[in-house]
């Protein structure tokens, strides 16, 4: 039946792989390596890319806006939350709030346009913002490891919680 070579369809992306799969949107023959299963059937990489382009409404300058908005907030939040030693315990509650606040501020600043790597810019800013709070305890390493580790604990805890909260709000 399928001995007729004219009946054999080859993958658009891999001209030497015969296939029976087709993109459910554009009908282009694709092999199992390219096919991406969506809720509306198999899609070719081009159609998936096109869909994502519609989904991501952000522009390149949204990344610049995100950096400008999140950096000062990140520096401020890290300094504030790690300098108040008396309430270090509250870092567990305040750090996710700070991360969430920075993420929301950025979302507001870019008018809620979606960008694929917005979370990366904001999380990067939070890490940069926390660096000054890590430098001092790291300097203590030369004096004694115990004090330095304790000094690092809260900035690192803050960092992990704030980054986690920001990521949870911005990843799409």
Site for Zn ion in 32-61 (CB under 5 A): 33-34, 44, 47
3-state secondary structure of 11: coil
Among 8, 10, 20, 26, binds Zn ion (CB under 5 A): 26
Q: Given the structure tokens 């054999």, which residue do they identify?
A: 8
First-residue to last-residue Cα distance in the chain: 47
Minimum CB distance to Zn ion, residue 55 (Å): 16
Q: Should residue 152 be labelled a site residue for Zn ion when binding is judged by CB under 5 A? A: no
Among 18, 21, 22, 25, binds Zn ion (CB under 5 A): 25
Q: Which segment (17-25, 60-68, 102-110, 126-134) binds Zn ion by CB under 5 A? A: 17-25
What is the C-alpha separation between 39 and 147, in angstroms, rounded? 54
Q: Which segment (18-26, 65-73, 79-87, 115-123) binds Zn ion by CB under 5 A? A: 18-26
Q: Which segment (23-31, 68-76, 93-101, 118-126) binds Zn ion by CB under 5 A? A: 23-31
Q: Which segment (31-39, 107-115, 125-133, 160-168) binds Zn ion by CB under 5 A? A: 31-39
Q: Given the structure tokens 């270090």, which residue do they identify?
A: 88
β-pairing, 36-38 with 41-43?
A: antiparallel
Minimum CB distance to Zn ion, residue 53 (Å): 13
DSSP E strand stretches across 17-120: 36-38, 41-43
* Nearest alpha carbon to residue 123 among 84, 66, 85, 65: 66
């Amino acid at each position: 039946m399928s001995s007729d070579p004219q009946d054999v369809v080859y993958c658009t992306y891999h001209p030497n792989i015969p296939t029976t799969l087709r993109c459910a949107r554009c009908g282009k023959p694709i092999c199992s390596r390219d096919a991406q299963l969506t809720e509306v059937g198999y899609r070719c990489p081009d159609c998936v890319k096109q869909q994502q382009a519609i989904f991501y409404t952000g522009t390149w300058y949204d990344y610049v806006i995100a950096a400008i908005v999140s950096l000062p907030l990140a520096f401020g939040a890290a300094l504030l939350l790690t300098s108040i030693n008396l309430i270090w315990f509250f870092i567990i509650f305040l750090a996710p709030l700070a991360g969430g606040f920075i993420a929301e501020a950025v979302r507001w600043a870019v008018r809620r346009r979606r960008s694929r790597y917005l979370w990366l810019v904001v999380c990067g800013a939070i890490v940069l913002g926390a660096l000054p709070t890590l430098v001092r305890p790291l300097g203590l390493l030369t004096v004694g490891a115990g004090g330095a580790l304790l000094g690092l604990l809260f900035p690192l805890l803050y960092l992990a919680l704030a980054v986690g909260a920001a990521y949870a709000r911005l990843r799409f």
